[in-house]
Chain A
Amino acid sequence: MGQKITIEPVTRVEGHGKVTIHLDDKGNVRQTRLHIVEFRGFERFVQGRPYWEAPVLVQRLCGICPVSHHLAAAKALDVIVGAGTGHGLTPTGEKMRRLMHYGQMFQSHALHFFHLASPDLLFGIDSDPLMRNVIGVALKHKDLAVQGVMMRKFGQEVIKATAGKKIHGTGAIPGGINKNLSIEERDTFLNGADPMNIDKMVDWALAAVELFKDYHKNNKDLIDTFAAFPSSHLSLVRKDGAMDLYHGVLRAVDAEGKKILDDIDYQDYLKYIEEDVKNWSYMKFPYLIHLGAENGWYRVGPLARLNTCDFIPTPLAQKEFEIFKAYTNGKPNNMSMHMHWARLIELLHSGEMMRDLLNDPDLQKDDLVVKGTKCHEGVGLIEAPRGTLFHHYRINDQDQITMANLIVSTTHNNEPMNRAVNKVAVDYMNGQKEITEGMMNAVEVAIRAYDPCLSCATHALGQMPLEISLFDEKENLIEQKRS
Chain B
Amino acid sequence: MDKNSKILIYGYGNPGRQDDGLGNMFVELTEKWAKEEGLTNLGFDSNYQLNIEDAANIAAYDLVIFVDASLEPLDDFLLTEINPSPKVEFSMHAVSAAFVVKLCNDIYPNTPQSYLLHLKGYEWDFKPGLTPKAIQNLDKAFEFMKSLLKSPEKIATARAGNKI
Contacts and interface: CB of A to CB of B under 8 A. Distances in A.
Interface of A: 9, 13, 17, 41-42, 45, 57, 59-60, 63-64, 66, 111-112, 114-116, 130-131, 133-136, 138-139, 142, 145-146, 148-150, 152-153, 156, 166-168, 444, 448, 451-454, 456-466, 483
Given A60-B17, A454-B93, A167 B52 contact: no
Contact of A135 (B68, B70, B93, B106): B106
B106 A145 contact: yes
A357 B89 CA distance: 36
B90 A149 contact: no
A146 B89 contact: no
Interface in B107-151: 107, 121, 124, 126
Given A149-B55, A458-B124, A464-B90, 5 more contacts: A152-B53, A167-B24, A451-B92, A457-B17, A460-B20
A9 B90 contact: yes
A156 B52 CA distance: 11
A146 B53 CA distance: 9
A454 B49 CA distance: 14
Instruction: Report the 4 A-B pairs with minimum CB-CB distance, sorted nearest first.
Output: A63-B48, A60-B16, A153-B53, A135-B86
A63 B14 contact: yes
A63 B57 CA distance: 19
A168 B89 CA distance: 25
Contact of A466 (B49, B71, B90): B90
A152 B47 contact: no
Given A41-B126, A60-B16, A138 B103 contact: yes
B15 interface: yes
Contacts of B57: 153
A460 B70 contact: yes
B92 A461 contact: no
A135 B103 contact: yes
Most A-side CB within 10 Å, residue of B16, B51, B87, B91: B91
Interface in B64-123: 68-71, 86-94, 96, 99, 102-103, 106-107, 121
Contacts of B152: none
A201 to B, nearest CB: 13
Contacts of B46: 166-167
Contacts of B47: 166-167
A152 B48 contact: no
A142 B107 contact: yes
B26 interface: no
A173 B19 CA distance: 27
Nearest to A145: B107
A64 B121 contact: no
B126 A42 contact: yes
Nearest to A153: B53
A459 B12 contact: yes
B15 A462 contact: no
B107 A146 contact: yes
A303 to B, nearest CB: 18
B126 A45 contact: yes
B16 A168 contact: yes
A279 B15 CA distance: 35
Contacts of A115: 52, 92
Contacts of A114: 52
10 contacts: A9-B90, A13-B124, A60-B17, A131-B86, A138-B106, A148-B52, A167-B14, A459-B48, A460-B70, A461-B71
A142 B90 contact: no
Residue with the greatest number of chain B CB neighbours at <10 A, chosen from A114, A133, A463: A133
B51 A454 contact: no
Contacts of A64: 48-49, 93-94
Nearest to A132: B88
B128 to A, nearest CB: 8
Contacts of A463: 89, 96
A461 to B, nearest CB: 6
A386 to B, nearest CB: 11
Interface string B11-41: 0111111011000100000000000000000
Contact of B49 (A17, A63, A145, A465): A63
B56 interface: yes
A136 B86 contact: yes
Contacts of A454: 90-91, 93
A217 B24 CA distance: 47
Contacts of B17: 60, 457-458
A37 to B, nearest CB: 14
Contacts of A483: 90
Contacts of B102: 135
A63 B93 CA distance: 9
A91 to B, nearest CB: 31
